Amino acid sequence: MRPGTDALIDRALAEDAGLGDLTSEAIFAPDHSSRGQIVAKQELVICGLAVATRVFQRVDPGISVKANLADGAAARKGQVVLQLAGPTVALLTAERTALNFLQRLSGIATLSRQFAAAAARAGTGVRIADTRKTTPGWRALEKYAVRCGGCANHRLSLGEHVLIKDNHIAAAGSLGAAVRLARHAAPHTARIEVEVTTLQQVRESLIAGAEVILLDNMTPARIARAVQLIDARALVEVSGEVRLDNLADYALPGVDVISVGALTHSAPAVDLSMRLTPARGQR
């Protein structure tokens, strides 16, 4: 689990269970214990098992947790992904928070797996990358889920990589000047990327020594022209309204990366639930 996740888990538990679980505390004896199973209610790619484990153990370190799968594995409908045992009130107190983490992260991993498969079908070696359009507070988790689904990460924050856009070019005076300024400021371990919308900008990017050229909102035909121009002198990234159903149109030979904001900002949750059975000898 990424360092820094604990703070989000604590916030999540406080908002759902900061006042306890009124119903369960009213009904279960404090020493009532149960076994629980987190079950996939649909076919999905699981992600977030360490986070869910931690949720249960933050509520009660005495809950034992055993994962049947590893993050990134496919689960069939009905498959048990996590096995739990411990005090019943604690299991029920943690249940929804744990599921809320799992359903979102697995939702992203599942959608990413679909995009990765579509890219593989294209057969051009293109990689699908995420964007910075993540849920605030969830950057590290969502970028991790994308990787579990088989896609790639684009830059993880504003702070380590360069992406030069229109405003930067205007302020620098020219695309070349912007690249020079960014090259000077960037760690030597970072490549310089420029976002372009015209073929003229593609040419200027090559002259300026850009290492990645992002073709933004271009038609496939235009992209093909740009790829020709670039001629492997820079990596080619494509972004715009790329969806599962039109990905093949954009995955042209020579396109290295297609970035898709929807991987993180619009992945629907997948369906998981917890089954609870009293421990042996309890009602």
Task: For the segment 55-114, give every residue that binds its own copies (CB under 8 A).
Answer: 58-59, 70, 88, 92-93, 96-97, 99-101, 103-104, 107
Name the token pair of 56.
């249960």
Give the whole-angstrom CA distance, residue 47 versus residue 92: 21
To the query of whether residue 271 is one of the catalytic residues in this protein, the response is no
9-38: contacts with its own copies (CB under 8 A): 9-28, 30, 32, 34
Tokens of residue 81, six digits: 């992904």
In the complex with its own copies, which residue's Cβ is closer, 81 or 221? 81
Assess 280 for contact with its own copies (CB under 8 A).
no
| Cα 51 to Cα 81: distance, rounded to the nearest angstrom | 13
C-beta separation of 89 from 219 below 8 A: no
* 77 is an active site residue: no
Question: Which CB, 33 or 79, lies closer to its own copies?
Answer: 33
| Member of 151, 182, 218, 242 binding its own copies (CB under 8 A) | 182
Q: Which of 41, 132, 133, 191 is catalytic?
A: 133
Helix (H) or strand (E) holding 196: strand 192-196
Instruction: Give the containing element (helix H, strand E) for 102.
Output: helix 88-122
Which residues, in sequence order, are CB contacts of 152 under 8 Å at separation 6+?
127, 128, 129, 130, 146, 257
Which is the catalytic residue, given 41, 96, 203, 225? 96
Q: Which of residues 187-246 bind its own copies (CB under 8 A)?
A: 187-191, 193, 212, 235, 237
3-class secondary-structure state, position 18: coil
The residue count for binding its own copies (CB under 8 A) is 103
* Residue 133 annotated as catalytic: yes
Which one, of 63, 65, 67, lies nearest residue 91 by Cα? 63
Judged by CB under 8 A, the chain residues 129 through 148 that form the site for its own copies are 129, 132-140, 143-144, 147
Please say if 41 is a catalytic residue: no
Q: Active site includes 195?
A: yes
Catalytic residues: 96, 133, 165, 195, 216
